[in-house]
Structure 1
Amino acid sequence: MTDSDGTEYEVAVVGGGPAGLTTALYGARLGHETVLIDRGGGRAAMMADTHNVIGVTEDVSGNEFLATGREQVESYGGTFERGFVTDVERTGDGRFRLTTNDAEVLTERVVLATGFSDERPDPPLPRTGKGLHYCLHCDAYMFVDEPVYVMGHGEAAAHVAMIMLNVTGDVDLLTRGAEPTWSEETAERLDAHPVDVIHEDVSGVENDPDSGWLEALEFEDGSRREYRGGFAMYGSDYNTALAEGLGCELTEGGEIDVDDHGRTSEDGVFAVGDITPGHNQVPVAMGQGAKAGLAIHKELREFPRSAEDIEADGPVDASEVPAIPPRLLATAVAHEGHAGGPREEGEPATEPEVPATDD
């Protein structure tokens, strides 16, 4: 429940990307006082267009997608706060205290949706989203039958270069002067694929003056190669400081280790989205958020009351239902999605009609 200062919640979500937004949506819609704290930015906000999300058209930008999600969370009674969470600690009563840059929040469950940042190569670089990309499965479709580059010198770069041959026959692998670190086996496989490995560093970028899209890259040896776009593969920087502070276990790859519903190794702490293992895709993140939201609801909901609690406290009294907090109840009955139709706060529900009798 929320106290008079609005600082106590049942669910606190840190991070406002697709995973965090979906978790917060489920929390609020299932009747739990929920706060979403987001510092802004993130990988989804960088999307020029939204791909692979059923019901969302390609012309929707990442910022538009996220803004709509925030509006939906708030429409169900969720609280949105713009801020940066600097610390999370477990309190003596088993709850969690979140410290932001200007406030503190107490919550029964905390959800970490803090994602990761792509490691960027040194400039000169094409413009992000207009020739420089990081998500193969999101953006490869844009480059079907177009000349593309893959930038990097490790295993991931070599494999992505070979994978791109599924959509185009013109792929260059740019090591940018770095010594390749892929294995001998990968080198043999790479040699067996029609991928040109270019070792000279990039010295300049040519963009279309009207659209801003990449047209070509210039190299230190004076050569010029035309590209429509490409992918930088230099690894990921996972934002796990809060999880590590709480004692959550990490995977060998540096992600937060979770079960199928986002539970971490610490009771009451969940993690969803790109900070966990798996495909870094918007629909996948949304699915993880939904599963975590449902798992949290099952842990927090009042009913059905257990046999042990019934024996200790007696049957459920009519005054105890519904269990949804008054503020969220009022929000629900006034919502456009309410079965009885929206009604003003305080307006009673329509009484059912009583069939006429012959008396």
Structure 2
Amino acid sequence: MSSADDEYEIAVVGGGPAGLTTALYGARLGHETVLIDRGGGRAAMMADTHNVIGVTEDVSGNELLATGREQVESYGGTFERGFVTDVVETEDGRFRLTTKDAEMLADRVVLATGFSDERPDPPLPRNAKGLHWCLHCDAYMFVDEPVYVMGHGEAAAHVAMIMLNVTDDVDVLTRGAEPTWSDETAAQLEAHPVEVVHEDVAGIENDPDSGWLEAMEFEDGARREYRGGFPMYGSDYNTALAEGLGCDLTEGGEVDVDDHGRTSVDGVFAVGDVTPGHNQVPVALGQGAKAGLAVHKEIREFPRSAEEIARDGAVDADEVPAISPGLLANAVAHEGHAGGPRTEAEGGSEAEQPAADDD
């Protein structure tokens, strides 16, 4: 495709860990790539980063995402702050993406739109200081501490029992709602040392210095100490763009994908929390990498197939390398280039690079 400012080979919608990784692979593998992100998201809520090898726990989610954006841009990827309101397939098999301020065309679209957790009604502990959203990320923080699980469905009951692996003090807070877990789950819960508290929460006590949760007050006057816990009220998957394109969804409401992020619509991929699986940063990174490689294999110029050679002839010397002049110049000037960063005098400027075929 042509390399106009609003035309790309890969458009990634959503700038969380999965979307950033897909965009990073796209740019590093020589494809004109745009990442469109409205900001926020689940990863941005992280006060600390857990379970990511090589990333220390004092790195916040916003810092992690900002570093990712810088990496994508350093390899020639384009970052756009905006909210994609619509994606439609064009007659020539590309995709038109619309934001409030712009329209873009792309050969492939990767949806990394995530989901939003259903929040219980206040009063609530402070986010990341007693209110936590990821069991497997944050359970370690509450080893041998009193913990609550907020909710009245199957997930709440099972998370409460799971937390018994790290602490012996776990309550389920139904907040006045009638439990909706099954009879089998009820029997299972009764066989574990978990207390079910039916009264609603009336107040929250926080440590005046750290802001961390200390206790909750209940409508019956009881006061119970907790250091943290998990609300389990379900998730709203951000699938509007996928549904508009005709992508299949799972029974759980996620975008249905294969092992490399391909959806049921050719040219459309989905990664991260909008797809089935563990909602973990390392998992999202892996999904982004696999989708990035899958997209690359679909759109790279070479090797030319036997059928294409028979139809179009052998590859001419002036057709390689199959990378745009801008990305080529960016690559040879990058600090990670094998020859070392080239100055303009050494042949690092775009004007001095060999012409590349953008089609």
CA distance in 2: counterparts of 1:154 and 1:96, whole angstroms: 40
1:246/1:345 CA distance change after superposition, 3 Å: farther
Any idea what SS the aligned residue of 2:184 has? helix
Cα deviation for residue 210 of structure 1 reads: 1.1
The CA distance in 1 between the partners of 2:89 and 2:261, in whole Å, is 18
Counterpart Cα distance in 2 of 1:3 and 1:297: 17
Correspondences of 1:80-159 after superposition (within 5 Å): 80-159=79-158
Q: CA deviation at 1:311?
A: 1.1
- Give the share of equivalent positions with the same residue, in percent: 86
* Corresponding residue of 1:35: 34
8 Å contact kept, 1:150–1:160: yes
2:342 paired residue number: 343
**Cα 1:345/1:326, change in 2 over 3 Å:** farther
What secondary structure does 2:9 align onto?
strand
Q: What is the letter of the counterpart of residue 137 of structure 2? A: C
Cα distance between partner residues in 2 of 1:346 and 1:322:
21
Q: Does 1:208 align with 2:207?
A: yes
Counterpart residue identity of residue 190, structure 2: D
Paired residue for 1:295? 294
Q: CA deviation at 1:17?
A: 0.1
**Alignment partner, residue 278 of structure 1:** 277
Q: Deviations over 1:207-260 (max 9, x none)?
A: 111111100000000110010000000000000000000000000000000000
Deviations 1:87-145 (A, max 9, x none): 00000100000000110000000000000000000000001111001110000000000
In structure 1, what is the Cα distance between the partners aligned to 2:305 and 2:345? 32
- Which SS does the other structure have where 1:166 is aligned? coil
Count of matched residue positions in the alignment of Structure 1 and Structure 2: 348
RMSD (Å) for aligned C-alpha atoms: 0.9
Shift of 1:313: 1.4
Contact 1:10 1:109 in 2 (8 A): yes
| C-alpha distance in structure 2 between counterparts of 1:244 and 1:348, whole Å | 47
Letter in 1 for 2:163: M
Structure 1 residues 135-157: Cα deviation after superposition (integer angstroms, max 9, x where no partner): 10000000000000000000000
Structure 2 residue aligned with 1:265: 264
The equivalent of 1:168 in structure 2 is 167
**Aligned CA distance change for structure 1 residues 286 and 2 (closer, same or farther; 3 Å):** farther
- 2:223 is aligned to 224
Does residue 244 of the first structure (1) align with residue 228 of the second (2)? Answer: no
Paired position in structure 2 for 1:312: 311
Q: How big is the shift at 1:177?
A: 0.2
Partners in 2 of 1:48 and 1:238 — Cα distance?
A: 23
What is the CA–CA distance in structure 2 between the aligned matches of 1:142 and 1:25, rounded to whole Å? 31
Counterpart Cα distance in 1 of 2:262 and 2:153 = 32
> How far 1:345 sits from its partner (Å)?
4.2
* Distance in 2 between residues matched to 1:91 and 1:8, nearest whole Å: 13
Measured after TM superposition, the shift of residue 297 of structure 1 is: 0.3
Q: Quick one: which amino acid aligns to residue 83 of structure 1?
A: G
CA contact (8 A) 1:12 1:107 kept: yes
Work out the CA distance in 2 between the residues paired with 1:163 and 1:305. 52
**Secondary structure of the structure 2 residue equivalent to 1:132:** coil
Amino acid at match of 2:39: G
Question: Aligned residue for 1:354?
Answer: none
How far is the alpha carbon of 1:314 from its aligned partner? 1.1
Match for residue 357 of structure 1? none
Partners of 2:249 and 2:224 lie apart in 1 by: 41
Letter of the 1:176 counterpart = R
SS of the residue 1:133 aligns to: coil
Paired amino acid for 1:166: N
Equivalent position amino acid for 1:91 in 2: T
Task: Check the 8 A contact 1:13/1:112 in 2, yes or no.
Answer: yes
Q: How far apart, CA to CA, are the structure 1 residues paired with 2:321 and 2:268?
A: 27
Name 1:184's counterpart in structure 2.
183
Q: Shift in Å at residue 348 of structure 1?
A: 3.4
Instruction: Quote the residue 1:64 is aligned against.
Output: 63
Deviations 1:175-226 (A, max 9, x none): 0000000000000000000001000000000111111110000000011001
Q: Unaligned 5+ residue runs, structure 2? A: 349-359
SS in 1 for 2:346: coil
Deviation of 1:326 after TM superposition, in Å, equals 0.7
Structure 1 residues 157 and 288: alpha-carbon distance in aligned structure 2, compared to 1, 3 A threshold: same
| Aligned match of 1:355 | none
Contact 1:330 1:345 (8 Å CA) reproduced: no
Give the partner amino acid of 1:294. L
* Distance in 2, Cα, partners of 1:346 & 1:153: 68
Q: Counterparts of 2:99 and 2:344 in 1: how far apart (Å)?
A: 33
Amino acid at match of 2:21: T
